[in-house]
A and B are shown apart, each in its own frame.
Chain A
Amino acid sequence: MDQLLALVVVIPLLCAAGVSALTPVFRSHRRALDTVAIAAAACVTVLLVVITVRTAHGPQVYWFAGFRPRHGIAIGIDFAVDPLSAGLASLAALLVTAAMIFSWRYFERVASYFHAMMLTFLAGMVGFCLTGDIFDLFVWFELMGVSAYALTAYRPEERAPIQGALNFAITNSIGAYLWLSGIGLIYGRTGALNMAQIGQYLIRHRNTPSSLVVVAFVLILMALLIKSAIVPFHFWLADAHAVAPTPVCVLFSGVMVELGLYGIARIYWSMFGAGLGHRTVIAHLFLVLGLLTAVVGALFCFRERHIKRLLAFSTISHAGMFLVGLSWLTPLGLAGAAVYVLGHGLVKAALFLCVGIVLHRLRSVNETWLHGRGRRLPVTGVVFTLAALGLADLPPFATYLGKGWIEDTSSAHGMTWVIALLVVVVLGAVFVGSKLWHSMFGSDDDYTGTGKRDIVIQIQAGDSTTMVGETLHNQGVVATVRAFVNAAHGNSKINSIQPGYYRMRTEIPAANAVERLADPNSRVGRLVIPEGRQLDDTTDMKTNVVTPGILTLISRSTCVDLDGDRRCVAADDLRAAATNSTTTALSVPPWAIQPVTELGNDHRRIEGLIAPGTFNVDPSAAPQDILANLISAGAVEYMQSGLVDTAQNMKLSPYDILVVASLVQQESKSQDFPKVAQVIYNRLNAHHTLEFDSTVNYPLDRREVATSDADRAQKTAWNTYVSQGLPATAICSPGVDALRAAEHPEPGDWLYFVTIDAMGTTLFTKDYKQHLANIELAKHNGVLDSTPR
């Protein structure tokens, strides 16, 4: 027995464990880590090629732990290897080696986990190819799968959501569980787990047809169809590609999907084929699924802009073609598919690696390099072109040969229309190649003209010029990232662009896009909330000037002029959202939930929760979400100023301190804030009503220094002449100084204060008589002067 068969799985596993155990050693010797991992993968590749050659003389079987079958019944696990399985395993090992060599310069950090996961991925793939036991097949399938999920989420390269990895993991896991169910069924009937043995059993009993066999076959088939990204189970592949790092994508597209199809071939031929019957039904099923996948994959290629998703759909399309090759259930069809897989695997790997090189360089290189860039990557350009030609199934590439054999088989079965459909697919592949080429290496592809329609795009904090270009490209503003980056080269305004929302037009020349971005008028959604504003607009009683409230400011900031249509979020809508939405929907912080809920259905319940400052508001968001974002930003601000900690120390709730700060903000000037805060606390401790005019004015939406008796007698939730303690909510949005004053009041025992002159001098006293005298002084100076009503 050939010990190599066991070694090709054990070597990567041991290496993975070793690399992980010795992480501290490798931390300072990164090159050594890479070398060890690459050496292991290369070694496995060589061994597998040797095995492939040996299997040319006949299939090899290896029984683990020395348990050979007794009387034709297998009691252990075996590896049953023929040239197809060994060849596919060699391809897998080769691609892993290539991917690991690529990663040599790709990841900028030491990461022994990556190497360990790649090696276990390799072990899983090799085990999957070589095994002859259905449960063992499942175990390697799962090892492959879990390694793949972990690698997908390894270092999300772009801002793509983790949703890709989740989708991948959940979909494939369901497939795995269906597989297990299938195993349970077939074991329940045959009492065997060895594929060849099950096959023999089914052949012996093929005259007593059983629903169980059909169902088991379909369940296992579904799991493998999911893995091969065959329609309608193909959705996860594009998402996974968008998220996974490039070397991992190489493996997904180059070999993992193909292994799923190999699995189908294996279980069909080893287990179910002869015993199951229904040969034509199955053949037609595969054919239909395969064609559907090939066409759908090609069609999606046409509308995809994201480069890696584009390649993913191309893989899906090719997977469909492989399945078509399988569906003829003849040796030539299978051979055609195998050669096609080999060619496609290598070609797709090459494409991904070229794309990876280009993306890697663009990102980490600064603008001055870009001028000579095309000339600097000549090798990449040539390899890319060759690979694209290979993807289009042109001679002399193996893909041409493989497809040719599949087509031959099709015409031999009189289904020439299949060939026509395959031509469509080829066109799709050609399209993919040329589109990629243009966006990477092509001449400046740029739009001309004045553009189609207006849109709002978002620039996020930390975006480099290239990322901005990608955003613009994805939204259809510029034709290629490269054009934008070239046009923006050296433009200092673009280098220092602020994160926020900008109004742009789709399909405009790159130079135009740069101009628009640099133009301050394109900025939308910029919201500045000054200190001391309240939600509603207020009118100054003396001058009749209306000060816009926060809701009006928000509404104004969301105004965008799109294609002549001025669209804003109405202040009334915001008010309605403030009134009716739940505290969770508004992201009300936990320490504010109780006072907010207590006030009930009044939009003023969120007064004070939106902190003053500068914000970027998404003009297209729903009113509720806009408020929620501002409230959570406010909560963070307050938190960072130490609101919660101070509250604990002062034995008050954070919300109370906020209210105090808002009172302080409205009642005095900043130099007096700490003293006024102390007055408030003193009065609260003495159970004195606060008697602040600002609390009377608040619900009346006006600003005035003094109030009439009628107003003061009115009982509202805020009137501190009538009610003891603090008003129900804050009465404005306090600024940083007011907050700080409320958190750290100046020690003193004053109970009264009044401003005595126009410059804002304020006198504080504990004595009521002194306070009356101060009021006289104020009146004398003309400060306290309100028209009696």
Chain B
Amino acid sequence: MTPAARRWAFLIAGAGLVAFYVWGLTGLPGFGQYPGPYGFILNDVAVGQTKATAVVSAINFEYRGFDTVGEEFILFVAAAGVSTVLRHLRGERDRSTLDEALGRDALPTSDAVRMVALIFIGPTVVIAWYLALHAQTSPSGGFQGGVVLATAFILIYLSGQFLVFKRVSPVAITDAVEAVGAGGFACVGLSAVLLGLPYLTNDLSLGHTPGAIDSSGTIALISFFVGLEVAAAFVLIVGELLEQTLLIRQEDR
């Protein structure tokens, strides 16, 4: 199909889809008039039941925690897929990182950039863990914390030191951390099964004050594992993609 024909075919079909969709949207109860009941019930009971003040996190890690398990493994399998696809391109032989990037990169990084990046890494890591561990309190949680933690590693790359980035995040260890994160989450749920309760029941102490650091039982623990997994997955993915870019530049194709 020629590009022009494809464009026209899409415009016609697309117009139909849009009209159809808009027709469906008219059935919605208007912006700002959410009818409930799911959201309202959870807003009412969540704090009491889980001792977590961040209801969204409670939903993610407790009420609908099983969804989150699935989603964690989606990320896991995507990282695995990226690794497989890109490693095949490199060939299976073990290449030392030295001959991949040594001496070929055009510009040496300025010291100013490196300093700034270094200064930021520390706070980034701290913020990341702060976010990951406060899932039950505030709009943070494992995902957010994990992504920020991955950023800390990427900062190293951004300061022009790809080699160092690879050295602090060797593939085997990152793989293992990611698997521990995902598996750890699944195991937390399993602990409930071993106690005869349904999978993922909150079987740790719920603490006294809602929203305190030690409250909400498994929510905090799950959030920690999720943070690990997300961070490792993103470091892995970004690392693989970057390695490919450098290699492509190497071979000058």
Contacts and interface: CB of A to CB of B under 8 A. Distances in A.
A143 B70 contact: yes
Contacts of B28: 185, 188-189, 212
A14 B34 contact: no
A65 B175 contact: no
Interface stretch (A147-155, A398-406, A435-443): A147-155
A23 B175 contact: yes
B165 interface: no
Contacts of A116: 76-77, 80
A139 B66 CA distance: 10
A616 B113 CA distance: 49
Interface string B43-64: 0010000000000000000111
B172 interface: yes
B56 to A, nearest CB: 14
Nearest to B28: A188
Nearest to B190: A10
Given A17-B183, A212-B28, A155 B23 contact: no
Contacts of A593: none
A313 interface: no
Nearest to A162: B85
Interface stretch (A68-76, A361-369, A384-392): A68-76
A216 B70 CA distance: 24
B183 A70 contact: no
Nearest to A62: B198
B172 A24 contact: yes
B215 interface: no
B102 interface: no
A301 to B, nearest CB: 23
B189 interface: yes
Contacts of A16: 73, 76-77
B34 A188 contact: yes
A10 B186 contact: yes
B176 interface: yes
Contacts of B24: 185, 211-212, 214-216, 219
Given A66-B198, A153-B85, A188-B34, A146 B74 contact: yes
Contact of A136 (B70, B175, B179): B70
A150 B26 CA distance: 39
Interface stretch (B134-142, B150-158, B199-207): B199-207
B11 interface: no
B147 to A, nearest CB: 19
A64 B200 contact: yes
Contacts of A10: 186, 189-190, 193, 199
Contacts of B27: 185, 189, 210-213, 215
B77 A215 contact: no
B35 to A, nearest CB: 5
Contacts of B64: 76-77, 135-136
A6 B199 contact: yes
B198 A64 contact: yes
B38 to A, nearest CB: 5
Interface string B145-182: 00000000000000000000000000010011011101
A3 interface: yes
A147 B84 CA distance: 12
A153 B78 CA distance: 12
A185 B202 CA distance: 31
Contacts, number: 190
A185 B25 contact: yes
B63 A65 contact: yes
B73 A13 contact: yes
Given A14-B186, A147-B77, A189-B35, A136 B66 contact: yes
B71 interface: yes
Nearest to B82: A150
Contact of B38 (A20, A150, A185, A193): A193
B237 interface: no
A212 B187 CA distance: 40
B92 A127 contact: no
What is the predominant secondary structure among interface residues of chain A facing chain B?
helix
A706 to B, nearest CB: 41
Interface in A667-692: none
Q: Which of B27, B71, B176, B189 has the most CB of A within 10 A?
A: B27
Contact of A17 (B35, B66, B76, B199): B76
Nearest to A185: B24
Interface string A98-125: 0000000000010101101100100110
Contact of A142 (B74, B85, B189): B74
Contacts of B71: 139, 142
Contacts of A1: 198
A21 interface: yes
Given A20-B178, A117-B80, A150-B80, A3 B29 contact: no
A71 to B, nearest CB: 9
Contact of B76 (A67, A73, A120): A120
B124 interface: no
Nearest to B35: A191
A7 interface: yes
B63 to A, nearest CB: 5
A32 B193 CA distance: 27
B73 A123 contact: yes
What is the predominant secondary structure among interface residues of chain B facing chain A?
helix
Interface string B27-40: 11100001111110
B93 interface: no
B41 A73 contact: yes
Contacts of B244: none
B197 interface: yes
Contacts of B178: 20
A629 to B, nearest CB: 13
Contacts of B235: none
A75 B42 contact: yes
Interface string A1-43: 1010011001001101110110110000000000000000000
A181 interface: yes
A753 interface: no
A372 B129 CA distance: 65
B20 interface: yes
B210 interface: no
B95 interface: no
Contact of A76 (B63, B77, B190): B63
B79 to A, nearest CB: 9
B114 to A, nearest CB: 25
Interface string A143-175: 100110110011100000000000000000000
Contacts of B62: 65
Contacts of A63: 198
Contacts of A143: 70, 73-74, 77
A117 B70 contact: no
A62 B198 CA distance: 8
Contact of A21 (B29, B180, B199): B180
Contact of A191 (B36, B175, B186): B36
A574 interface: no
B193 A3 contact: yes
Given A188-B34, A639-B252, A65 B65 contact: yes
Contacts of B77: 16, 116-117, 120, 143, 146-147, 150
Interface in A544-580: none
Q: Which of A64, A70, A150, A212 has the most CB of B within 10 A?
A: A64
Contacts of A212: 24-28
A1 B201 CA distance: 13
Given A185-B28, A188-B29, 10 more contacts: A16-B77, A65-B202, A136-B67, A185-B25, A185-B27, A191-B37, A211-B23, A211-B27, A215-B23, A639-B252
20 contacts: A6-B189, A13-B183, A14-B183, A14-B186, A21-B183, A24-B172, A75-B41, A75-B63, A77-B66, A120-B76, A123-B70, A135-B64, A143-B77, A149-B81, A150-B84, A191-B39, A192-B37, A213-B27, A215-B23, A219-B24
6 smallest CB-CB distances across A and B, nearest first, come from A215-B24, A212-B27, A150-B81, A17-B183, A21-B179, A6-B199
